[in-house]
Amino acid sequence: MRDIVLTLLILGILPVAVVRPWIGILVWVWFGLMNPHTLAWGFARDLPWGQLIAVFTLLGVLVNRERKSIPRNLQVFLLAALWLVFLASTTFAIVPDRAWDQLTKVSKILLFVFLSMIYFQDRRRLRYMLLVIAFSIGFYGIKGGIFSLGTGGIFKVYGPGSGFFSSNNSIGLALNTILPILFYLGREETNRLLRLTLKISFWLCAVAVVFTYSRGAFLGLLIVMAVLYLRGPRAFAALAGCAILYVVAVPYLPDRLTSRMASIETHQDASAQHRLIAWEVAWKVAKERPLLGAGFWGLANRMTYAQYGYAQSTSAHSIYFDVLADHGFTGFVIYVWLFGSTLWVLFRLRRRAGRSPTQAWVVNWSLMLEASLIAYLTNGAFQSAAYADLPFQLMACAVMLRVIAAREQAQVAPAATSDRPVDRPVPRAPLVRPVGRPALSPAAPASRLGPTRRGVR
C-alpha cells in the first residue's frame, strides 16, 4: 500500500514540476532529506525517484521562463569555489572510484541549492521551503518522540533507512538543526492548527534528540535551547523550568541513557578514542596533502589508517576534520568562510531590519536561520555530515532572505516618499532679528506704553 501511494504521489507531481519548477525543487528537497522511499516495503523502495524528480524539474527550468537571476554575493561565489575545490580534489583522490561517485551526489545537491536561490526569491515560497525542510526531518523526530515516550525510551531513535541522516548520531544533528525553524515559525504562524502542529513537533523532536543516545546530539540540544530561550525576556523562567524538569524526569530515565550521558565527562570509552584517532589521522593527511587533501573517502578507508599504523578505519566524526582531510586547507578555509560569512550576513540583516517596523519578520527569520546554523556547526564538530543537503539549503535560505528583505525595503522607501503631500513651495519668511524687548519710539501712542512705576497713564 505504501508503495502504491508513494508511486501515485510522485507520478502526479512530476508533470507539475515541469510547469512549476519551484515545486519540483521542493519535492527534491523533501526527497533528499526525508528519503520517503525507505519507508516503502516493495517495488517503490528501489526505483530511481531522485533521478526522475531531477530530470522533470530541470526540464521545467529549461522550458519555463519564470526565473530570476542568481544573487551575486559572497556566499554564492564561495559556494561555487567550494564546488571547484571538490572537483579538483576528486581528480587527485586516493580512492578515485568512490570519490567520483560522491562528487556526483554532492554536485546534484549543490545544483539544486543554486536553483533554490533562483526560484525562491519570494517570501511565500521561502516559507514553503522552510516548512518542507522542517517537516522532512521532523517526521522522524515526531515519530521517534512518540515512540520513545510510549516505550519509556529504552530504544534508540534512528533516521531514514539511507542517506546522510540514517544513524542515531546524524539524525540527532539534523533534529537539532531544524528545532529553531519549528520554534520561530510556530511563534508567528497565524493558522491555529499549523501553529499547534509546529509547537508539538518542536517538543517531540527535542525528546527524540535525547533518545538518540548520542552524546554529541545531547550537547547540541543544550546549545539550541540556550540560544532559543536564554536571549529573550523569559530566560529566568526557562532556567527554572529546566531545573524542575531535570529533578522530576531524571529518576524515570533509563539507566542506559543516564550512564551514556554521564560518560560525556570522560574520553576513555571506545567511541571517544576512535574520534581522537580519526582527528589525528585527518590532521596528518591534511599536512601531507595541504592544497587539495585526499579527496572524498580519502580518510574513511583502511589504506589511509594503515599508513599511520592503525588497523581499523572510521570516519572523522566531525564536519571540520572531514573537509580538512578530504579537501585540504583550501577546502577547509572556503567551507568555514562560507558558513561564517552567512552567519555574519544574518547578524547584519537583523540589525538593519530591526530599525524598520515593517520588517519584524526579517528579524525573526534571521534569528531562526542563525540558530539553525549555529546548531549545525556546533553539533557538527562531533558528527560526519559535511556534505548533506541541509546546511547548504539553510545557507541558500539566508541568501534568499537577504534578497527578499532588500527588495521589500526598496519598495517601502519610494512609497513613503510618494505619501508625502505635494504643495506649492512655501515662500521663505523674511529674516527678522530676534529681540528681547521692543524699544519705545517717540511716536508710540501712550495707550501702548502700559503701566509704569508711577501708575497708569
**Tell me: the pLDDT tens digits for 18-33?**
999 999 999 999 999 9
pLDDT per residue as tens digits for the range 218-246: 888 888 888 888 766 666 565 666 566 55
Predicted pLDDT at 374: 93
Residues 314-366: pLDDT tens digits?
A: 778 889 999 999 999 999 999 999 999 999 999 999 888 877 778 889 999 99
| pLDDT in the model for residue 444 | 45
Report the alpha-carbon angle 196-197-200, nearest 5.
85
Give the mean pLDDT of the chain: 83
- Kindly state the cell numbers that stand for 450: 502700559
pLDDT above 70 covers a percentage of the chain that reads: 81
Beta bridge partners of 452: 455
Looking at residues 445-456, what average pLDDT do you find? 43
Task: Give me the pLDDT at residue 304, please.
Answer: 85
Q: Residue 48 corresponds to which cell in the numbers above?
A: 530511481
Cα(245)–Cα(8) distance, integer angstroms: 45
- Beta-bridged to residue 378, according to DSSP, are none
pLDDT above 60 for 143: yes
Least confident of 114-118, 148-152, 193-197: 148-152
pLDDT at residue 133, rounded to an integer = 96
Q: pLDDT value at position 240?
A: 64
> For residue 454, what pLDDT is reported?
42
CB-based burial label for 279 (10 Å; 0-12, 13-18, 19+): middle
What pLDDT, on the 0 to 100 scale, is given for residue 259?
A: 57
pTM of the predicted model as reported, rounded to 2 decimal places: 0.83
φ, ψ of residue 115 in degrees (nearest 5): -65, -35
Is residue 234 classed exposed, middle or buried when 0-12, 13-18 and 19+ CB atoms within 10 A define those classes?
A: exposed
Instruction: Return phi, psi of residue 71, to 5°.
Output: -60, 145
Distance CA 457, CA 209 (A): 95
- Residue 200 is predicted with a pLDDT of 94
In the structure, what pLDDT confidence band is assigned to residue 436 with cuts at 50, 70 and 90? very low
Residue 255 predicted with pLDDT over 60 = no
* pLDDT of 253 higher than 80: no
E strand residue ranges, 23-156: none
Q: What is the pLDDT of residues 36-66, one digit of tens each?
A: 988 888 888 888 888 999 999 999 999 988 7
Q: Determine if residue 317 is left, alpha or beta; phi over 0 gives left, psi from -120 to 50 gives alpha, anything else beta.
A: left
Q: What is the largest CA-CA distance in the chain?
A: 119
Higher pLDDT, 277 or 435: 277
The pLDDT value recorded for residue 421 is 52
Q: Which of 129-143, 247-261, 264-278, 302-316 has the lowest mean pLDDT?
A: 247-261
Cell for 438?
Answer: 521692543
Instruction: Give, as one character, the DSSP assignment of residue 263.
Output: G
Cα gap 85→294, rounded to integer Å: 12
**Sign of CA pseudo-dihedral 339, 344, 347, 349:** negative
Which among 34, 39, 54, 55 has a CA at the least distance from the CA of 7? 39
Average pLDDT over every residue of 365-385 = 91
Q: CA 130 to CA 304: how far, in whole Å?
A: 39
- List Cβ neighbours of 116 (8 Å cut-off, separation of 6 or more): 25, 29, 129, 393, 396, 397, 400
